[in-house]
A and B are shown apart, each in its own frame.
Chain A
Amino acid sequence: MNMRMIAVSIATLILGWDGLSASQNRIHPEFDLLDVEGYKVIESHNPVSTMKTCGQCHDTEYIDSHSDHVRPQQRVAYEFESPDPGSDVPFDADWLKTYGRRHVGGGPARELGFEMNCFLCHIETVDREAMMGEMRRERFEWAVTASLGRTGLVARVGDSWIWKRDALSEQGRWPIDRIALRGPTDENCGACHGLVHRGSAPLVIPEGNPAELTMTLRTGSIFSGQRINDSGISTVSKEQTIRPWDVHAERVMRCSHCHFSLNNPAYSLEIAATRPLHLRFDTRRQSFSEYLHRPSHQFARGRGSMDADPSNEPVTMRRCETCHDAGPMHRWLPYPELHFQKLSCEACHIPTSPMAAVREIDWTVAGADGKGGVRYRGIEGEWGDPNAHVTGFQPVFWPRLDEDARTRLAPFNVVTTWFWTAGDPPQRVSPAIVAAVFHDGVACRPEALERFDSNRDGVLSDEELILDTRDKRDWVAARLTDAGVVNPRIEGDAQPFGIHHGVMRREFALCECVSCHAGESRLYADLEVSPTAPFDAEPALRRTGGIGDAGRIVRATDGRWVARMNREGDDAPEFYVPGADRNAAVNRIGIGFMAVVVFGVAVHGSARIVTGRRRRQ
């Protein structure tokens, strides 16, 4: 069996299985909805228990025990809702009431009654509002049931939920022919992770909580196969922008094709490091029935941008070259192997983001909603405003340590969070305390208006709420001190986010030699980090996600903070880019050669002249 046959077999298996999961009703049998005691809910009138219901066939205890989505010590990575992302916080009722909208339940939440909500990812129409409503009322045991509100299986009656017998099957079971249970769709993933879109309706930025567009906000990525010029987003040169938002989405790939369940036998592929030399393809694998009984809910993942130590979290996702054979498609490229060693695929295939992304989150101030100001890059106008003009941005190229221990250039967006800290060791100041400086709970404080309301309209806009002068900074610090904050000071946390989605196909990729190998090299282009940093504050770069030493935040000559890659002449340069970098030794050798040539020509010419004269004489 040659490699092509192996690849075809694997692809067939993957696609075949994928088709199976997408076929929705064809595989999943009808089942009883059970409550936590194991009684049918239609008789007990209790909330549904997924542990019991789904546990009739699937090992729900196993799923609940290992999945990142439910695991204890869930890290709060919601930098848009807290000035302190990345730290561990108590997993309690308050946490669920705040962040539960994007939590799948289970794990520690189970102790509060919020079981793993399988329906969030396995049915099409989830009623998140109803689910959150129950959580806000601390009726966590009803949250899963409420999320079925749009299926018609349950109806709210007063403060409670009633199971509707006529909506169930004749046997009182889940009507699988009407309400499909299937593998997660892009929409299921996108509900928490970012903007995904399918279909022919023009893509627009949805209304609602932008914090749920994490991937899009952090990196500008949109997972959609729609061509940009067909979308409803006003972009630069839209009519000519005929590429899709993501070529993989255009080619009908789904989130779960790359972020697959780790024990899904369809994706079983032994890595070269552990594969015996004599064996190219191992046919032995877990059966589908075994998989369906205990499907791993740990999904293939790349290196997390916020992972401080690359060895902490194993990278389980395949690399581009697992599916793609770059060689045949890059025959036009001089020194292809060298390029592949120095550049990540993303560097050339995601050289720009057509979509805007977050640039800064400023918790040193607070708006009327008590939250920090969010500033974007690549957009003229308000995020979510259909009239806003999206200009996109060019990510910075920074070296990234890959799993094969090579350092390659990869595109990053940098999101800087500004916040107040206090005490020693420093603790981040609560947003509520900062908000109280600006608002009295009803309206803006007059003294805040006096200092910040530059247009005197009685409202503090995001543009006005900036601590760009010593006076403003000191005034807020004084108010915080008055509120009991000890030694308040501003810190900036510059978090790089690797960009992996929004891939362009070859026609739109970076492929002109002069783009990189020239004085104005794209590889060394700056990314603006903060044009409006709080007065005298300095962003500190988080070296997470495998970023090498050559990536740094510097103050440009015009005073702006920018993300930049070190080059020849700087400290710790990691790359020498011919045509873009100056190397003294190379220059000296070149000048030497030049001098020798000129000298040779001069000597030869002189000799010819002299001998010519002699000959004539």
Chain B
Amino acid sequence: MLIKFKLMLSLLVCLCLVSDEVESAIRDNPRAKVPKPRSHTDHSTFFSQPFPDGSSVTRACLECHKSAASDLMKTAHWNWVGDEAVLAPGHDQPVHIGKKNLMNNYCIGIQSNWVRCTQCHAGYGWEDDTFDFSKQDNVDCLVCHDWTTTYNKDPNGAGRPDPKVDLLAVARSVGYPKRANCGYCHFAGGGGDAVKHGDMDGSLLNPRERIDIHMSRHKLECIDCHQTKNHLIPGRLISVSIDAKNRFDCTLCHAPRPHKDMRLNAHGSAVACQTCHIPRIAPEEATKMVWDWSQAGDKEREKRIGDPHQYTAIKGEFQYAVNIAPEYAWFNGTADHYLLGETIDPEGVTAMARPLGSIHDATARIWPFKVHRGKQIYDLKNRYFIIPKTYGPGGYWTEFDWDKAARLGSQATGLDYSGSFGFASTEMFWPINHMVVTSRQALACKDCHGQGGRLNWESLGYDGDPAVRGGRLRTGILIPESEGGR
């Protein structure tokens, strides 16, 4: 009798375990995929002598973390260029691209402006094109591992630490990267907090739930999603890359079809998670939407306006926006980027970076973007954009001479400068990935469908609202998966 009872009890327990396993396989349980809390080695007793400079700290780090520098040196955080050459649309030969040699429509480009731009380089001393990328002493460990939050790079120091920083205290504090470490550069891109991305700013340091559910309620760190191996941090933006490698998406933790509502799951083939779950960009801190360099140079205007968010003589005219709806476009993970020397149509709008994909592309989904629009200098005769020297001796910010700035900048890029310049319109797409809100705050049907919806269906290639006219499959735009499409 007792044996029978035990057998039945065991069977019951097994059944419970199996059913639980089956259920959890179906259920979206992202928490289970989040890395366990990290163990952290207290470094406070490891160092006793003051460090004279950043490189001396690096040498101390490398005594134990012997492969750390060599690992980092293989990554884009160090090289500012992709490790593989990619074939850009319209080009015959693959090219290595990255922040090192690309342009944008914010500060335009780092070439000739290294000293200022490389404040955000994970290294020390990149002040011209002779920087030694093979020297391990140049690696800046502290900017990513400082836990005192006192570490600061000198804005005019080509990535070197601010002399006022207590390097010994910082070195003793080190640990895995936290939000403040990543945010030191990524929140402040474009020259200030929230300026560049629209979905990353200082509000993520300690956000409320309505700003970001992952970093508030669930207390995730950046590296919980950007799960790093050997200093290779996954996740790239189309502002510096055009292929879909080294990226990850929400399915890193979430089930591919996480909704209880089958209609919502059906959206997944045409709509990115971000589209509904990041309904607003820059919800708290205003982000820059327009930068018109052509208006720069008017010191009187700067005084008259008195608001650096509207106008500065060195940079021109700006428009900021806060808590706005993104723009939407098809995106298959790859992008087209303006490359140095490409000819432009000065009368039109040149995309500095734009997503690729269309309604006919089964791998593309509708994605939210911040679109930053600008007007920037180009060579009037050669009809290509110029990276002007803005920072440092002879730069525009010092002498307010566009011609000289263009000439000095072109010397650094190696492009021919005709001597005449103009200003042309540009736009740059920034995919929105951060500041995810809960399902309760996510977009609802009426936000996109029906009259007054935020999506422009015609511009996305639909004949009309797919809620009433049918989506890509129903209208035959795509072949069903069973016949080769998705």
Contact = CB atoms under 8 A, between A and B. Distances in A.
Please say whether chains A and B are actual partners in one complex.
yes
Interface of A: 15-16, 18-19, 22-23, 185, 198-200, 225, 227, 242, 244, 249-252, 254
A198 B451 contact: yes
A251 B446 contact: yes
Contacts of A199: 452
Interface of B: 325, 440-441, 444-447, 449-454, 464-465, 467-469
A15 B475 CA distance: 14
A252 B467 CA distance: 9
B484 to A, nearest CB: 24
Contact of A19 (B440, B446, B453, B465): B465
A22 B451 contact: yes
B468 A185 contact: no
4 closest Cβ pairs, A-B complex: A19-B468, A225-B446, A252-B450, A242-B440
B451 A19 contact: no
Contacts of B449: 252
B469 A254 contact: no
A314 to B, nearest CB: 29
Contact of B468 (A18, A200, A225, A250): A18
A22 B445 contact: no
Contact of A23 (B445, B454, B464, B467): B464
Nearest to A224: B446
A244 B467 contact: no
A250 B445 contact: yes
A250 B454 CA distance: 14
B446 A15 contact: no
Given A225-B445, A242-B440, A251-B445, A15 B468 contact: yes
22 contacts: A16-B468, A18-B468, A22-B465, A22-B468, A23-B464, A185-B451, A198-B446, A200-B325, A200-B447, A225-B444, A225-B446, A227-B441, A227-B444, A242-B440, A242-B441, A244-B444, A249-B446, A250-B444, A251-B446, A252-B445, A252-B449, A252-B453
B324 to A, nearest CB: 10
Contact of A254 (B325, B440, B444, B450): B450
Given A227-B444, A252-B449, 12 more contacts: A19-B464, A19-B468, A19-B469, A22-B451, A185-B451, A198-B451, A200-B325, A242-B441, A250-B444, A251-B445, A252-B445, A254-B450
A250 B440 contact: no
In this complex, which of B444, B449, B453, B464 has the most chain A Cβ atoms within 10 angstroms of its Cβ?
A: B444
Contacts of A250: 444-446
B67 to A, nearest CB: 49
Contacts of B444: 225, 227, 244, 250-251
Contacts, number: 45
Contacts of B450: 198, 252, 254
Contacts of A227: 441, 444
A251 B452 CA distance: 13
A300 B441 CA distance: 34
Contacts of A22: 451, 465, 468
A19 B441 CA distance: 27
Nearest to B263: A251
Nearest to A243: B440
Contacts of A244: 444
Nearest to A242: B440
B469 A16 contact: yes
A200 B467 CA distance: 19
Nearest to B279: A200
A5 to B, nearest CB: 14
Contacts of A23: 464
In this complex, which of A199, A251, A252, A254 has the most chain B Cβ atoms within 10 angstroms of its Cβ?
A: A252
A200 B450 CA distance: 13
B17 to A, nearest CB: 23
Contacts of A19: 464-465, 468-469
Nearest to B450: A252
A16 B467 CA distance: 9
B483 to A, nearest CB: 20
B469 A198 contact: no
B468 A198 contact: no
In this complex, which of A16, A18, A225 has the most chain B Cβ atoms within 10 angstroms of its Cβ?
A: A225
A343 B409 CA distance: 76
A332 to B, nearest CB: 13
A594 B449 CA distance: 60
Nearest to B210: A239
A19 B451 CA distance: 10
A452 B469 CA distance: 62
A198 to B, nearest CB: 5
Nearest to B444: A250
Contacts of B440: 242
Contacts of A225: 444-446
A15 B469 CA distance: 7
Contacts of B451: 22, 185, 198
Contacts of A251: 444-446
A614 B161 CA distance: 95
Contacts of B446: 198, 225, 249-252
A19 B450 CA distance: 9
A249 to B, nearest CB: 7
Contacts of A18: 468
A122 to B, nearest CB: 15
B445 A15 contact: no
Contacts of B325: 200
A200 B323 CA distance: 12
B65 to A, nearest CB: 46
Nearest to B261: A505
A552 to B, nearest CB: 40
Nearest to A17: B468
Nearest to A225: B446
Nearest to A12: B470
A188 to B, nearest CB: 12
A22 B452 CA distance: 12
Contacts of A254: 450
A252 B446 CA distance: 5
A227 B444 CA distance: 9
Contacts of B453: 252
A500 to B, nearest CB: 19
A227 B453 CA distance: 15
Contacts of B447: 200
A225 B465 CA distance: 17
A464 B455 CA distance: 52
A254 B467 CA distance: 13
A23 B450 CA distance: 11
Nearest to A21: B468
B200 to A, nearest CB: 24
A244 B469 CA distance: 25
Nearest to A22: B451
A185 B450 CA distance: 11
A354 to B, nearest CB: 16
Nearest to A198: B452
A96 B353 CA distance: 62
A572 B94 CA distance: 86
A35 to B, nearest CB: 33
A158 to B, nearest CB: 37
B409 to A, nearest CB: 43
Contacts of A242: 440-441
A185 B444 CA distance: 20
B439 to A, nearest CB: 10
In this complex, which of B441, B447, B454, B468 has the most chain A Cβ atoms within 10 angstroms of its Cβ?
A: B468
A22 B464 CA distance: 10
B113 to A, nearest CB: 40
Contacts of A249: 446
Nearest to B440: A242
Contacts of B467: 15, 252
A393 B452 CA distance: 31
A202 to B, nearest CB: 13
Nearest to B466: A19
A225 B451 CA distance: 12
A227 B446 CA distance: 11
B363 to A, nearest CB: 27
